[in-house]
Amino acid sequence: MNFLSAAGMTTELLQEFEENLRRSVSEDDFIKESCTPLIQGGKRLRPMLFLLCANAHENISPEKTLPLAVALELIHTASLVHDDILDNSKKRRGTETAHSLYGSQIAVLIGDYLFAKAFQLVAENNYGDEVAQILSDLVKNLCRGEISQDLSLFSVPTMKDYYDRINLKTAIFISICCKLGGIVAGLNRDEVRGLTIYGNSMGLAFQIVDDLLDFFGNEKITGKNLGGDVKSGVITLPVIRALKVSDESKMLHEIVTNQEIAQREFSSAVTIVRTTDAFTYCKLRAQAHVDAAIINLPTEIKNSVRRTLEQVADFVVMRNS
């Protein structure tokens, strides 16, 4: 579904966003060759939420919104490039990852380039100190989340530790996209706060569903092999739940906490998780976060934008990729 069109934004705006995104990674032949595949596909959830919130009261000119929308997508893409290196992922969105094609050293630099390009766009378009500070904090928290995850590989997190991690890695980013939209639109403090809370709750739901798809997704649709988190040592909510309720929790614990066993027996871990109520449990938790997101939407925003933000929330829970 084209959510932006549903909110009354034009097809031309969407096309202009994609063109600006492609242009941002066309500085030289290698950058264009290596980065263009990275920005293709994807849900565009982060820039889409920013654009929706930026137009919550009235339509803002593309000249004011698109550079920041592109910057947000570039930051997201940069974080994925670095994630794939750390996880040794071979595929992303069904295509080879940057480090599979060019090696880890070049891939790190590609990710760094994308971060730098995002901040260049922010500086060139005079978004001001507040926006720059928010984006700096964002990248810092993305790094903190990744460090936290890397330091806790093959260990079972508490529920608090799990939520702290997904908040840093995902929820804060999505909340910032909504917050920045409100700031650019000139909304009042309470409205910006409501959009920020909406985004944070949405981000938590999004990551829970993402973790669920690692066990229950369709590999042809997700573009990733099932059990990738187990192989990488990342223990997520479906495993936490299965460890609590499964008759085979001892075996599952042995697999997910031992790197050598996890590499061989990750498919067994997937099977154990799939035989529990982990799917229903995680879906209910994700739905609770989505419900909280919708409740916190400001009442003063345009009806078309509000309805679309509600539809996006439903999509987050129901998505299959």
Structure tokens at 255: 């697999």
Mean pLDDT rounded to a whole number for the chain: 93
Q: Are 277 and 241 in contact (CB under 8 A)?
A: yes
pLDDT of residue 89: 82
Predicted confidence (pLDDT) at residue 5 exceeds the cutoff of 70:
no
Residues 6+ apart with CB under 8 A from 271: none
Task: Domains for the chain: give ranges and CATH numbers.
Answer: 9-313 (1.10.600.10)
Predicted confidence (pLDDT) at residue 7 exceeds the cutoff of 70:
no
pLDDT of residue 1: 47
d(CA 171, CA 199): 7
Structure tokens at 191: 């409205």
What φ, ψ does residue 308 adopt, rounded to 5°? -70, -40
57-98 per-position pLDDT tens digit: 998 999 999 999 999 999 999 999 999 998 888 878 778 899
Closest-CA residue to 52 (of 8, 113, 85, 96):
8
pLDDT of residue 251: 97
d(CA 306, CA 297): 7
- 302 Rama class: left (phi>0) / alpha (psi -120 to 50) / beta: beta
197-252 per-position pLDDT tens digit: 999 999 999 999 999 999 998 888 777 789 999 999 999 999 999 999 999 999 99
Compare 320 and 209 and report the one with higher pLDDT.
209
pLDDT of residue 6: 58
